[in-house]
Amino acid sequence: MITPEEMAKAQAALAKVQVDWLAQEGVTAIDLGFEWSHGVMTGRLAIRVHVARKKPLAELSEDEIFPKEIDGIPVDVIEATYGLQIMLEGDAQLEAAVDGRDQRFTEIPLGVSIGCPNVTAGTLGAKVYDAATQEAYILSNWHVLVGSPTASPNEVIWQPGRLDGGKASDKFAEVSRSILGPFDAAVARLTGERPVLETTLEGDHIAAATVPQLGMMVWKSGRTTGRTAGFIDGVMMTTQLNYGAAGVRRLEQVFRIVPRPGSPPNVEISLGGDSGSVWVDEVSGKAVGLHFAGEVGNDPEFALAHDINPVMVRLDFIFPAQLPAPEPPIEPEPPAEPEPPASTTPPPTLSWWQRFTNWLRGLFG
């Protein structure tokens, strides 16, 4: 068990070297995570240098050799290359979506195919709300909802995505806010054509967020691979990815997910089309990350996600559980008391002549 004190010490050491080491040729990412030795996770906390190819020591120049530790924190060099998980047209493996997630839904659940017209398809990650107005949004990646630096500021979003047969009549949202670097994220405002649920296709409710932790068991619901599970083996990652026309972007506040121990050797926890999925803590059921990338080529299976909390702050949204409580109903005012009945009208007063006449009648009868 890694203590908060150990993590704080490691974070301070990481901050000293992260920028310089990431700039070195062949380095693909820098993070804090569990040390690996001969393919086995040791459980020790280390500063990890991810490289495209681990070279034999004899082939390394002096500048390419990393120290064994920084301020008492071990340094581990691991081989891994990362890239966007973009749907490629014509790739049969990617075009096949499990559980019918590529179909059109009348009531749209989380974890299904969406995208803007110039993107093949990605995943609807969560239903969220504007932090100020409580207007309903959907959450996914920039490269799913925007996809191009020349895209319209209010790009329309289809469900399903274009690769899955989406067309103009399948519009259900418009992009509201987006960011590419240090996060790959966007939110889109619902336009009312179809309702969006707060639950995944499997029925899991994603209503709140928490902080990702090393060793946390997590799951996600995505367009291509469906509901898959893994655990977090690295946090506080910084990496750089190529976004084509949008250039190379630096991505921060990233954590890495790997298959759980005992998983089949060829297990896939994510593929192209799963971009935009939300990773969820298995214990609390709360969102921890926004999926955006994975391994490249024949590397071991990995997935990358942004810590959901700084994304929430940057794009100014909240989860359903954070919505303010509704105002209590106004109690109706009790009916007014009935007016008291009017007093009886007194008999008219007799004039002096009537009184005199009555006296005479009484006198002479």
Residue 24 has pLDDT above 80, yes or no: yes
User: CA dist 26 to 72, 197, 253, Å?
Assistant: 25, 43, 21
Q: Given this model, what pLDDT does residue 330 score?
A: 81
Q: Which of 31-40, 116-125, 205-214, 325-334 has the lowest mean pLDDT?
A: 325-334
Q: 3-class DSSP state for residue 225? A: coil
pLDDT attached to residue 355: 72
| Res 92: pLDDT | 64
Interior CA angle at 10 toward 275 and 314, to 5°? 40
Instruction: Please give the average per-residue pLDDT across 160-180, as a whole number.
Output: 97
Residue closest to 201 by CA, chosen among 109, 104, 127, 113 = 109
Query: Which range (249-258, 304-313, 342-351) has the least confidence?
Result: 342-351
Q: How far apart are CA 291 and CA 141, in angstroms?
A: 8
Q: What is the mean pLDDT of residues 216-237?
A: 97
SS3 50: strand
Q: Taking the CA atoms of 248, 249, 255 and 260 in sequence, report the sign of the dihedral they define.
A: negative
DSSP 278-289: EEEETTT--EEE
Judge whether residue 288 has pLDDT over 70.
yes
What is the model's pLDDT at position 354? 72
pLDDT for the residue numbered 353: 66
- Averaged pLDDT for residues 147-172: 95
Of all residues in the chain, the percent with pLDDT exceeding 70 is: 91
**Residue 338: is its pLDDT beyond 80?**
no
pLDDT in tens, 54-86: 877 777 777 778 899 999 999 999 999 999 977
Pairing mode, if any, of strands 40-51 and 73-79? parallel
Q: Residue 344 — pLDDT band, cuts 50, 70, 90?
A: low
- Structure confidence at residue 154 (pLDDT): 92
* % of the chain with per-residue pLDDT over 90: 72
Q: What mean pLDDT is predicted for residues 177-202? A: 97
pLDDT band at 342 (very low <50, low <70, confident <90, very high): low
Q: How far apart are CA 364 and CA 345, in angstroms?
A: 33
- The per-residue pLDDT for 90 is 66
Tokens of 305: 């996600």
- Please give the pLDDT value at position 41: 84
Q: Which residue has the tokens 């309702």?
A: 195
